[in-house]
Amino acid sequence: MQEIERPAIRKARQQLQALSDDEQARYLAFVRERALLNETIVMGATEAKGKREGRSDILRQLLQLKFGALPVAIEQRLVTASETEQVRWAERILSVDSLEQVFAEWTARVG
């Protein structure tokens, strides 16, 4: 590596080297990085949950507008549904005539 001529850069490099040699400083840096990663994971999961709940709320409103009060089982299923199921059901609302038709494959499995 080329010799560093500027004193400020040389000093910064020496400080970085000193930190790298310091086991406690390396451990604290690792802990900070791990905390940031965990925060990112938690925020991503929270955001996904919020989106799913938001889709559930909109789907519930659309179903109630078209078909009236919803059975408790349907209310509960809306909350636990995957994104794919929620989108499929929302698309069906436009073209079906009954609540049963919206949830056809689910109601067939549940019996």
Q: Which residue type, as a one-letter code, is found at position 13? A: R
Quick one: pLDDT at residue 4?
A: 63
The tens place of each residue's pLDDT in the chain, 111 residues long, gives: 456 678 888 888 888 888 778 788 778 888 888 888 888 887 877 787 788 788 889 999 999 999 999 999 999 999 889 889 999 999 999 899 999 999 887 655 555
Quick one: pLDDT at residue 2?
A: 58
Residue with tokens 């000193």: 18
Angle between helices 23-67 and 7-21 (to 10 degrees): 80
Q: Is 59 exposed, middle or buried (0-12, 13-18, 19+ CB in 10 A)?
A: buried
**96 is a domain residue:** yes
Is-contact 10 2, C-beta < 8 A?
A: no
Please report, in angstroms and rounded to a whole number, the separation of the first and last CA atoms in the chain: 72
DSSP 5-25: --HHHHHHHHHHHHHHH-HHH
**What's CA 109's distance to the chain center, in Å?**
28
**2 is a domain residue:** no
Of 91, 99, 103, 89, which is closest to residue 66 (Cα–Cα)?
Answer: 99
Quick one: pLDDT at residue 15?
A: 84
Quick one: pLDDT at residue 7?
A: 87
Which two three-digit tokens encode residue 45? 């999961």
User: Which range of residues forms the domain containing residue 76?
Assistant: 7-110
**74 is a domain residue:** yes
Quick one: pLDDT at residue 54?
A: 87
Total domains in the chain come to 1
**76 is a domain residue:** yes
Quick one: pLDDT at residue 111?
A: 52
**23 is a domain residue:** yes
